[in-house]
Amino acid sequence: GEDVEQSLFLSVREGDSSVINCTYTDSSSTYLYWYKQEPGAGLQLLTYIFSNMDMKQDQRLTVLLNKKDKHLSLRIADTQTGDSAIYFCAENLFSDYKLSFGAGTTVTVRA
């Protein structure tokens, strides 16, 4: 099974904030990632954070990293219908080329 854990579903009202949570296992991972996948599409790299950072903000996206608890979160402000997708958390396990992905959180935005 995956080393990275995520809740499977999130339903949010349009205009509200969404928070997607992820727990990872390897404290030596250098980077942690958030990918978005819309139906029928590939994975879009939304953002990533270096392991020595606590927070990263990019427009509507805020990533928080708690290394002590191995907890990563993605907050989407002012959620829109276009934000409906599957969101994957991933860590690189201090590997040159391998990422370990979570199972993905399906976010549904309702009007």
**Nearest-approach distance from CB 15 to other proteins, in angstroms:** 27
**Nearest-approach distance from CB 73 to other proteins, in angstroms:** 18
Q: Which two tokens stand for residue 99?
A: 């990422």
Nearer to other proteins, 16 or 98 (CB): 98
Q: Which two tokens stand for residue 56?
A: 């990263």
**Nearest-approach distance from CB 99 to other proteins, in angstroms:** 7
Task: Note the residues at the interface with other proteins (CB under 8 A).
Answer: 2, 30-31, 33, 35, 40-45, 48, 50, 86, 88, 92, 94-99, 101-104
Euclidean distance between CA atoms 44 and 47, whole angstroms: 9
Q: Which two tokens stand for residue 44?
A: 């879009």
Nearer to other proteins, 96 or 111 (CB): 96
Euclidean distance between CA atoms 65 and 57, whole angstroms: 12
Q: Which residue has the tokens 């399906």?
A: 106
Tell me the helices (H) and strands (E) count for the chain, helix number first.
0, 11
**Nearest-approach distance from CB 26 to other proteins, in angstroms:** 12
Nearer to other proteins, 17 or 44 (CB): 44
| Three-class secondary structure of residue 57 per DSSP | strand
Nearer to other proteins, 8 or 19 (CB): 8
